[in-house]
Every structure is written in structure tokens, then in C-alpha cells.
Amino acid sequence: MWLAAWQALSISYLLALALCVPAAAFLVRLFLIQHDCGHGSFFRSKSVNDWVGRILGVITMTPYHYWRRSHAIHHASHGNLDKRGIGDIDTLTVREYQNASRWDRFKYRLYRHPIVLFGIGPAYVFLIQQRWPSGLERAGWRFWASALGTDLAIIVAWGVMIYLVGWKPFLMLQIPMTIIASSIGVWMFYVQHQFEDMVWDKQENWDLHEAAFYGSSHYDLPAVLRWMTASIGVHHVHHLSSRIPYYRLQDVLKDHPRLKDVKRLTLRKSFACVKLQLWHEEARRLISFAEARALKLV
């Protein structure tokens, strides 16, 4: 798809950009293979998982060992209100928002705006933030080695491509592909964990399996989109057992059909999740800024 888009540049840049969209979708699929390697589930061999993950990390611009660690923290603390911060979409409770300064409220509203959350933010994360072990700077040299080693490999790979096709055609294609893929990836992650009747609890009431099962959605996508996203929409099952590879998740639903309707979210219904911004602890659900105003909470 990348080469097809490059060839299309001689015809029309709009055509080349159109081809960047399916190329970005395949980039998302590569990221999800890397994701399964990070869980040790794609291959039987740990070393094969790690090496394939490292190589794919260069293509996806995601340092493998750094991401694997931050994602493991996400799995270990998902749905725990006292352990937010790493590998999550930043979310404030109503009370935290009430107690925040005007400046912090403005920053949070800006962060949760769809253009930032699904456009600027994902591009920043994949193009800039992941160039160092953000959030794990003091966790050990291995995460610095993972980030800087990936950066070096990206420089070499991009350098070779620029030498072959020229810097301008390369950037005209690679940057849009990366931005589109990062936006798709963040959208998938968002709707898997930010839906109205998800479950969050304080540490004293938090349960790992309940948080996994009821705090993750079953994003029931059409078949083509399900394939392109490597069935990661079966996220409640994935969080229950991350060692199930993506190519077995649909089998789990076939063997246990009752799981299909647990926290099920269709493509059409998923767009309503965009308006959810605050966790209402008393009501135990996510609400919008507009609803919070209507309830005189903010």
C-alpha cells in the first residue's frame, strides 16, 4: 500500500492520500500483532515474540519493551481510580473537576476535545512522546534502551527510504499514514474503556477480574473492521485473559455466546462515547460536561 501510494503521487496527491487510509489500517493491524507479542501470546516462543515485537516497534514507532511495561501497568490497574496515569486516557471524576483550578479545568476540557483527543494527541504520542520512556524515566535503563534503540532504528529506516524515494515524497506519505493510524488506534483504545456503563472503583472495592470484564467493552465491529483491528474489540475477554491471541478471541465468543452481549458496543453507538468526559462516582457512570451542568455539578 505504501508503494502504491508512492506511485500514485505521479497522478494525484489526493489519490495518494486516499491510499494512505488503508495503509494506515494495515499499520494498526501490525501494531496489534506487536501488542500480542507484548503479551507473549502471538507465538509460543518468548524470544520470537520479543524479536518480532521489537521489529514491528520500528514500523509502528512504538518502543517495544517500554510500551510492554506501560501496557502491563494498564492491565494491572485498569478500572482502579487510585491508580490512574499510565497507559490510560486521562479522566477526572466530577469531584476532582469541581476542585480543580480554572486553568486545570481549561486544560482538561482542551485535552478531552475530540480534535485534540483523536487528532493532535495521537500524533503527538506516536511521533514525539514515545521517543523517550515517558512516565517510566526512572524505572531503569532498559526502557531508555528500548526507546532510544527504536529511535535509532527509525532514523536508519527512514534514512534508507528517503534515500530511495526522496525526503519530500517520503514525508508526504509517511506522516499522514502515521497520523491516521495513531488516530484509529487511540479511538479503538478510547471506546474500549470510555463508555457510559463502564466500571471503576477505589482501591478498597476494586477487583481485577470485575474491572476487566465490566470495565472493558465488546466493540462489535463489522467483519472487515474486525479483521483490520485484529479482533481487539473483544476487549473484555482480552482483559480477562491477555494470553489469548487475537486470532482465538472470536473462538471464545463462539464457545461462550453469552459473552457477546456483555458491555456490547456497536459502531453506531460508539460515537456517543465521545461526549463522555467525567466519572460520576455516586451514579457510577461516565457523564458529559453538559449533563454535569444540568445536574448542577459544575
Q: Hey, which residues does 280 pair with through a beta bridge? A: 285
- How high is the pLDDT of residue 235? 96
Neighbour count for residue 219 (Cβ, 10 Å): 26
| CA separation for the pair 226, 14 (Å, rounded) | 27
Q: What is the pLDDT of residue 72?
A: 95
How many angstroms separate the Cα of 98 from the Cα of each of 94, 152, 266, 273, 290?
Answer: 6, 44, 32, 22, 14
Q: Hey, which bits of the chain come out as E strands? A: 92-93, 218-220, 264-266, 278-280, 285-287
Spatial separation of the C-alpha atoms in residues 38 and 40, rounded to whole Å: 5
Q: Could you identify the residue written with the cell 496489534? A: 32
pLDDT value for 196: 92
pLDDT value for 261: 94
**What pLDDT is attached to residue 87?**
81
* Binned average pLDDT, 10 residues per bin, the chain of 298 residues: 96 97 97 98 97 97 96 94 88 96 97 97 96 91 96 98 97 97 97 93 93 93 96 96 96 95 95 96 94 92
